[in-house]
């Protein structure tokens, strides 16, 4: 949005808390108490506000017990509710926080909402209903789920686009990276967060992953397992940095998988982690590109200039951390340390950290942006990778897609 909403402060709060930086945490809390105000005439992304602000505030509340975070999260959620006023109940991508008017991105297929956006509200909204006793949030996300369950899926795959007016799919594109990613993640995490009671979510996850494995996951000539993008019946042999989170997801979902294929999914997670590590290792800066190909002799390397950037994204480190938790193979700490050193060497600037425009260039230029997920996710996952397993054990905590830990609801 165009307002000063303090995304970095909110997104970083729980990282500060987990790292024991309590003075900085208190400063953040004070700022939020005095300045965080959602009655602004600003159009925001429902998804981004949910995962970064509501997720960040809820995690800060659960970790610290400070009421102000809960109050602000609930106020903000109220401002997002008008986005659900569509003919189908599938929310608009954007909403004006003051007027409540919603709309979709101009670039999305046939006026559609995006799967990874309307499908990444479940964890936070279930917690909002739990904390307030008001079922309105729960009902909104369960309505989305029911609607999705009723729809036909081409080849068993969920397309990235769904029109909120007609309830019909847009283009038949499927991705485990951008536009699709966290929808699959939240199916699995809805089950985990419910203490494994929400078996409907687990079934949807298992069905989706089976179709993805069949149609999107391949091995390159050089033996690298990759997840491609499905475009109208054709597989594009390209994988995004965003897709690399799936290694961790497969490992997290291994336990409880259908037909007891736990070993298979842990192995798949390890293969994705390896491929994503290769995408880092094959660059000059040892930082991964935004997207990389497996085509015509090219393996795990970006081809187009506009896919060579690294914007401090967390997904590869996230997967290293999950793989570390489940296997304790020291290579994951080694790979995490390589990434840490590269970030410190090439992304550190006087005012913080910056994205770089070309990971294959020995003299990189900066994009001059420190994304809020750098503090929320990248540094948190690195910190956890080098911490003991009893810091936020996965039996008790489920991380939202922005790495904000929410407790399992027993
Ligand atoms: C984050 O905001 C979240 O992880 C989201 O699910 C995907 N993109 C960014 C980080 O790359």
Domains located in the chain, CATH noted: 1-172 (1.50.10.10), 197-409 (1.50.10.10)
CB atoms < 10 A from the CB of 58, how many? 28
Q: How far from 222 is each of 135, 256, 300, CA to CA, in Å?
A: 51, 31, 10
Residues in the chain: 410
Considering the chain, what is the average pLDDT of its residues?
98
Confidence of residue 3 (pLDDT cuts 50, 70, 90): confident
Q: Answer whether 266's CB lies under 8 Å from 251's CB.
A: yes
pLDDT for residue 90 is more than 90: yes
Cβ atoms of 264 and 270 closer than 8 Å: no
Question: CB-based contacts of 316: which residues, under 8 Å, 6+ apart?
Answer: 241, 244, 273, 276, 277, 279, 280, 288, 339
Q: Is the pLDDT reported for residue 2 higher than 90? A: no
Determine the pLDDT at residue 125: 99
Summarize the confidence of residues 100-110 as an average pLDDT. 96
CA nearest to 97, candidates 85, 79, 81? 79
Please give the pLDDT value at position 99.
97
- Check the annotation: does 401 bind a ligand: yes
CB 287 within 8 A of CB 342: yes
Report the C-alpha gap between 150 and 211 in whole angstroms: 17
Please state the rounded mean pLDDT for residues 311-329. Answer: 99
Asked whether 328 and 320 are in contact (CB, 8 A), the reply is no
Q: What does the alpha-carbon distance between residue 222 and residue 70 come to, in Å, rounded to a whole number?
A: 50
The response to whether residue 241 sits with its C-beta less than 6 Å from ligand 1 reads no
Q: Tokens 């790292």 identify what position?
A: 19
- The pLDDT score that the predictor gives to residue 207 is 98
Closest-CA residue, ligand 1 atom 10, reads: 313
The CB of 313 under 6 Å from ligand 1? The reply is yes
Residue 373 CB–ligand 1 contact under 6 Å = yes
Q: What is the pLDDT of residues 338-376, one digit of tens each?
A: 999 999 999 999 999 999 999 999 998 999 999 999 999
Report the candidate in 269, 318, 316 with the shortest Cα–Cα distance to residue 289. Answer: 316
The per-residue pLDDT for range 59-68, each reduced to its tens digit, is 999 999 999 9
Among protein residues, the one with the nearest Cα to ligand 1's atom 11 is 313
pLDDT one-digit tens code per residue, 248-274: 999 999 999 999 999 999 999 999 999
Contact call for residues 352 and 368 (beta carbons, < 8 A): no
pLDDT for 1 beyond 70 = no
Best mutation site among 117, 184, 314 for ligand 1 pocket (most ligand atoms within 8 Å of CB): 314
The angle, 0 to 180 degrees and rounded to 10, between the axes of the packed helices 136-150 and 199-215 is 40
Tokens of 202: 């687990």
List residues with catalytic annotation: 48, 181, 290, 315
- Return the H-helix or E-strand segment holding 173: strand 173-174
Q: How far is the CA of 16 from the centre of ligand 1 (A)?
A: 19
pLDDT at 296 over 90: no
Residue 402 Cα to ligand 1 middle (Å): 6
Compute CA distances 319 → 31, 37, 147, 266, 403, whole Å: 33, 35, 31, 11, 12
Residues 6+ apart with CB under 8 A from 363: none
pLDDT value at residue 78: 98
- What average pLDDT score do residues 136-157 get? 98
Span 194-221, average pLDDT:
98
From the number of C-beta atoms within 10 Å of its C-beta (0-12, 13-18, 19+), residue 77 rates as: buried
Q: Which atom of ligand 1 is nearest to the CA of 116?
A: 6
Q: How confident is the model at residue 58 (pLDDT cuts 50, 70, 90)?
A: very high
Residue 201 Cα to ligand 1 midpoint, Å, equals 21
Strand partners, 103: 94
C-alpha distance from residue 110 to each of 45, 149, 230 (Å): 18, 21, 18
Strand 348-349, strand 352-353: pairing: antiparallel
Q: Which residue has the tokens 């000059």?
A: 284
């Amino acid at each position: 949005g165009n307002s000063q909403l303090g995304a970095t402060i909110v997104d970083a709060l729980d990282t500060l808390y987990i790292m024991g930086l309590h003075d900085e945490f208190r400063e953040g809390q004070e700022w939020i108490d005095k300045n965080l105000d959602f009655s602004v005439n600003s159009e925001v992304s429902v998804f981004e506000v949910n995962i970064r602000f509501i997720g960040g505030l809820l995690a800060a509340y659960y970790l610290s017990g400070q009421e102000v975070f809960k109050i602000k999260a609930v106020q903000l959620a109220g401002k997002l509710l008008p986005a659900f006023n569509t003919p189908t109940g599938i929310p608009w991508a954007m909403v004006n926080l003051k007027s409540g008017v919603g709309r979709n991105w101009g670039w999305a297929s046939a006026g559609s909402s995006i799967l990874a956006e309307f499908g990444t509200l479940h964890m936070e909204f279930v917690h909002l209903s739990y904390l307030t006793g008001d079922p309105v949030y729960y009902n909104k996300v369960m309505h989305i789920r029911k609607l999705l369950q009723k729809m036909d899926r081409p080849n068993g795959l969920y397309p990235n686009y769904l029109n909120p007016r007609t309830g019909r799919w847009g283009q038949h594109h499927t991705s485990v990276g951008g536009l699709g990613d966290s929808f699959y993640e939240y199916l699995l995490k809805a089950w985990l967060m419910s203490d494994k009671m929400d078996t409907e979510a687990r079934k949807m996850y298992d069905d989706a992953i089976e179709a993805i494995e069949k149609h999107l996951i391949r091995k390159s000539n050089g033996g690298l397992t990759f997840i491609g993008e499905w475009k109208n019946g054709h597989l594009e042999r390209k994988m995004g940095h965003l897709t690399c989170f799936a290694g961790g997801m497969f490992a997290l979902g291994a336990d409880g998988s259908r037909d007891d294929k736990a070993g298979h999914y842990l192995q798949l997670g390890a293969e994705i982690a390896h491929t994503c590590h290769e995408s880092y290792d094959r660059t000059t800066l040892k930082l991964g590109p935004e997207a990389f190909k497996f085509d015509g002799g090219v393996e795990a390397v970006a081809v187009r200039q506009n896919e060579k950037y690294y914007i401090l994204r967390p997904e590869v480190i996230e997967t290293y951390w999950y793989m570390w938790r489940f296997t304790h193979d020291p290579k994951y700490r080694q790979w995490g340390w390589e990434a840490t050193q590269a970030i410190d060497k090439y992304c550190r600037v006087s005012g913080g950290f910056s994205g770089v425009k070309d990971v294959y260039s020995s003299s990189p230029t900066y994009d001059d942006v420190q994304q809020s997920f750098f503090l929320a996710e990248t540094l948190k996952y690195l910190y956890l990778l080098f911490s003991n397993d009893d810091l936020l054990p996965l039996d008790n905590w489920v991380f939202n897609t922005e790495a904000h830990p929410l407790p399992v609801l027993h």
